Structure formats: C-alpha cells, structure tokens
Amino acid sequence: MKVHVFKSKEMIDQEVATLIVSKINAKPNFVIGLATGSTPLGIYQELISLYQQNKVSFKDVTSFNLDEYVGLEKMHPQSYRYYMNHHLFSKTDFNVENTFFPGETSENYDLLIASKGGIDLQILGIGGNGHIAFNEPGTSFDALTHETLLAHQTRLDNSRFFNSLEEVPTKALTMGLGSIMCAKEIILVATGLNKAEAVKSMIEGDINVNCPASILQNHINVHIYLDEDAASLLEGN
C-alpha cells in the first residue's frame, strides 16, 4: 500500500482527477471502477472541468459502478445510477451504454467486467466501519458481486441523503471484495476525522474480515489518498 497524505481534500481531488485523465489519454478505451457517496464528488467535478477544457474525452471509456441500492427506482434521486448520471455522465461525453451498475444487466457482473478486459483502475471510498463498496464487516474476502444487507451504521450514515432512516434501503447489490481485488490498480480516498479509525485498521491492523478494507494490504497496486484528519491516527503522524 502506498499512502499519500495531502493538506486538503481539494488537492486530493485535483491529483486523482489529473491521474485518471492521464491514464485515459494513454488508453482511450480505459475501464474504470467508480464509487458514489460524498468522497468522489470533488474528483468528478475536476473531471468535468478537465473535460470542458478539452483535456480528455470519455467517449470510449467503460465504467463499472461498485454498488446500487435494492428497491429504489432507477431514476430515484438517491439511486446510484441517478447520482452518476447527475454528477458525471450527463456533464461529460461518457457513452451511457458503456456505464454499468450491478442489477441493471442480466449478465453476471464479474463476467461482464472480465469480458471488457477487467478494471484498469478502481476508485474507492471507505465507510466509517471499514466497508468498501457495500462489503460490510464479516463479508468473505472471496465474495464476488452479490446482494447484501446494509449494516445499521451504514444506513445511519447514508440517511443524511434521505428524508428519514426508514427511507434508506435495507439491501444493496455490491461488487464483492474478490471482485475489487481483481482490479489492476486501486485508489482509495478518505478524508475527515470520522474515517481515521477505519483508515488505521485498514493500513496498520491485521487483515481481518472485521475491517473489510484491510484485504487491500494484499493487493500489489493500491494507493491510499488521505487528508491530515483521516491520517491522524496512523503511526508516525
């Protein structure tokens, strides 16, 4: 794991977006794994800005999102399809036909990813309980894309986007830890004090299903981008 600590979230957003753009320019039919939530919003804004400056085209890029709620209409404002259309796809030249979500296709998601050549770069956030995608503590490290129950903490965390906790779906479809570990390269971004414990367990703890993100220690090409708050509990900080 290579850990990069930045002074601000804005610096991380710029760095990661610039990196993504340089990779797409080197390989226009790039396959990218995308996350939702608060963490990648700034990166997506930077990507839109670089697109508007004609520094990149996404027209031949294929994307695979990590997860999607079960039980929300595709166009529900809190569905992850809606989020991606709204925050990235509709503001760039992504070909929506090349953007995939678990549950939207009848094909097996992991086989579909493999048929496109595998994910070149996976973008990840991390939950306060150490989850990545919706792989909650206790999920098998070998799991491929599957349906899962959301942890109470995750529903509470995500209730900020809904009118009430009751409206937050109880289930989601998610790429498994085994699916994520197949990505050729992984960038995980975490900012804020509320991520500091999970970040410490991920980087310095044992590899243990209680912290799903700790499996990333076994991946050969992982970059962790942190702000000073998220890095604050790491040894040497």
Task: Return residues touching ligand F6R (CB under 6 A).
Answer: 35-39, 66-67, 125-127, 131-133
In DSSP terms, which residues pair with 189 in a beta bridge?
A: 225
Residue 50 C-beta: closest distance to ligand F6R, Å: 21
Catalytic-residue membership of 76:
no
Q: Which is nearer to ligand F6R, 3 or 41 (CB)?
A: 41
**Which residue's CB is nearer to ligand F6R, number 25 or number 193?**
193
The conformation of residue 63, written as its DSSP 8-state character, comes to: E
Place of tokens 């699916």: 179
Catalytic, 167? Answer: no
- Pick between residue 18 and residue 38 the one whose CB is nearest to ligand F6R: 38
Find out whether 189 and 16 touch, Cβ atoms under 8 Å: yes
* Of residues 81 and 131, the one with the C-beta less far from ligand F6R: 131
SS3 category, 39:
coil
Is 136 tagged catalytic? yes
Instruction: For residue 119, give every residue at least 6 positions away whose Cβ sits within 8 Å of its Cβ, in sequence order, or none.
Output: 31, 32, 33, 64, 113, 182, 183, 184
Q: Cα 197 vs. chain centroid, distance in angstroms?
A: 19
Closest separation in Å from C-beta 51 to ligand F6R: 21
Q: Which of 15, 67, 68, 227 is catalytic?
A: 67
H/E run at residue 44:
helix 41-52
Active site residue 157: no
Strands 171-174 and 67-69: antiparallel
What b-and-e string marks burial along 77-113, b requiring 16 or more CB atoms within 10 Å of the CB?
ebbbbbbbbebbbebbebeeebbbbbbeeeeebbebb
Please say whether the dihedral angle defined by the alpha carbons of residues 144, 150, 156 and 162, taken in this order, is positive or negative: positive
Smallest separation (angstroms) from ligand F6R to the CB of 172: 9
Residue 114 CB, nearest distance to ligand F6R (Å)?
20
Q: Between 38 and 45, name the residue whose CB sits nearer to ligand F6R.
A: 38
The minimum distance between CB 161 and ligand F6R, in angstroms, equals: 8
Residues known to be catalytic = 67, 129, 131, 136
